[in-house]
Amino acid sequence: MKRRSFVKALALSASIAAIGATSFAAHAADTIKVGILHSLSGTMAISETALKETALMTIDEINAAGGVMGKKLEPVVVDPASNWPLFAEKARQLISQDKVAVVFGCWTSVSRKSVLPVFKELNGLLFYPVQYEGEELEKNVFYTGAAPNQQAIPAVEYLMSKDGGSAKRFVLLGTDYVYPRTTNKILRAFLKSKGVAEADIMEDYTPFGHSDYQTIIAKIKKFASEGKKTAVISTINGDSNVPFYKELGNAGLKATDVPVVAFSVGEEELRGVDTKPLVGHLAAWNYFMSLKNAENDAFVKKYKDWAVKAKLPNADKVVTNDPMEATYVGIHMWKQAVEKAKSTDTDKVIAAMGGQTYKAPSGFTLTMDKTNHHLHKPVYIGEIRADGQFNVVWKTKEPIRAQPWSPFIPGNESKQKL
């Protein structure tokens, strides 16, 4: 116990020192402070570091174009280190000490849940850029990632379709925390409504940072040899994905036999993996780097230029992914809302957010729903290519409205109109 609080104290004092250094010049200039709350170390750093870079790039872009209401944006970056309680401490520090107007941050649902009370108490504003399990609708949060009906449900429908392989048996595999557990609860109910028997669903969880997937792959193989086409739905998060996909490749489990569709694996997570044995495995997102449209070309180029400018490691090989796009769209929509409200006051910005539109790199004009704080998003399903990018094999014709309260969870019937 002592050890833990000592770590916290140490990390806190170190970060306070760091913040002090970065915000030194801020007091004099007339700027709007913007908080960036992403893990830059620990198990989630693999995913979240790129979001910090995207946020900095977008802020840089907005500043270059004249800022917001004539004021420059000033990013305040903190590192909650994949430590959920630390997320809350850092959020509190951003809002009450640094007085930021808005925070862009969090990836895992457990980190979002841990900062929620802080944002409610201090009436802060959080933009959350990652797909999640739904079952939440907070006044102080805008969700620019997908709700289950904008990612998980269409992906499973695709797997059950003829082109997706007409899967009849499903392995629900995830990291052990709130997002995979809730998503799998929704998916289980959905599969049951489609006539899939209890015996044809296998659910399995691993701890954060798990690195030995031999047993699980062997179990999947066994489960798949029962006479029905089997598919794996993976909600594994963070750097566990690297050993998981490595093991999958080594074990020779091919996508044509047992396809794996992942909800938290994008271009960024696959950078450290040899993707040749993984060709054909799937991911469902609302954006892929390989989409061809003018907005995306510009977005990818901007990020590549930023990587060179910010001297990121392997700057020539950087990729963009869905949560990065959601971060980018979120910051731009916040800017538009601030300009509409002519204020950075939380309540006024929240009122101005509903109905905002932005022409996004996903190739559609995305709309912030008038009431439910979620974006209307298109859904894409992609297959992994040998070069680590995705081929889109299925997509919706137009953006679809989010259902944060899944109709497949009992008790949510009255909340469908939200």
Pick 68 or 384: Cβ nearer other proteins:
384
Closest CA to 278 of 294, 263, 262: 262
Give me the torsion for CA of 407, 409, 414, 416, rounded to 10°. -30
Distant-in-sequence, close-in-space partners of 129: CB < 8 Å, separation ≥ 6? 51, 104, 144, 145, 323, 324, 326, 327, 330
CA angle 340, 346, 352 (to 5 degrees): 30
Distant-in-sequence, close-in-space partners of 28: CB < 8 Å, separation ≥ 6? none
Burial 234-253 (b: 16+ CB within 10 A, else e): bbbbbbbbbbbbbbbbeeeb
Rg (CA), the chain: 21
CB 385 within 8 A of CB 412: no
Q: How far is the CB of 117 from other proteins (least distance, A)?
A: 26
Pick 256 or 414: Cβ nearer other proteins:
256
The residues of the shown chain that bind other proteins, judged by CB under 8 A, are 3, 7, 10, 40-42, 45-46, 49, 79, 162-165, 176, 204-207, 209-212, 214-216, 218-219, 221-222, 224-228, 239, 242-243, 246-247, 249-252, 255-257, 259, 271-272, 274, 279-280, 282, 313, 383, 385-386, 391-393
Pick 61 or 203: Cβ nearer other proteins:
203
Q: How far is the CB of 282 from other proteins (least distance, A)?
A: 8
Q: How far is the CB of 239 from other proteins (least distance, A)?
A: 5
Q: How far is the CB of 154 from other proteins (least distance, A)?
A: 15
Pick 55 or 338: Cβ nearer other proteins:
55
Pick 194 or 222: Cβ nearer other proteins:
222
Pick 118 or 224: Cβ nearer other proteins:
224
Sheet holding 260-262, edge to edge: 201-206, 169-175, 230-235, 260-262, 282-285, 380-384, 390-395
Pick 69 or 386: Cβ nearer other proteins:
386
In angstroms, the CA 204 to CA 384 distance is: 23
Q: How far is the CB of 18 from other proteins (least distance, A)?
A: 12
Q: How far is the CB of 251 from other proteins (least distance, A)?
A: 5
Q: How far is the CB of 199 from other proteins (least distance, A)?
A: 13
Pick 61 or 204: Cβ nearer other proteins:
204
The token pair at 181 is: 């557990």
Which string of DSSP letters, residue by residue, matches 41-53?
Answer: SSTTHHHHHHHHH
Pick 392 or 400: Cβ nearer other proteins:
392
In angstroms, the CA 271 to CA 274 distance is: 8
Distant-in-sequence, close-in-space partners of 275: CB < 8 Å, separation ≥ 6? 384, 385, 386, 387, 388
3-class SS string, 151-197: CHHHHHHHHHCCCCCCCCEEEEEEECCHHHHHHHHHHHHHHHHCCCC
Q: How far is the CB of 302 from other proteins (least distance, A)?
A: 21
Q: How far is the CB of 85 from other proteins (least distance, A)?
A: 17
Q: What's phi and psi for 412, nearest 5 deg? A: -95, 5
Q: How far is the CB of 241 from other proteins (least distance, A)?
A: 10
Pick 10 or 16: Cβ nearer other proteins:
10
Q: What's phi and psi for 118, nearest 5 deg? A: -65, -45
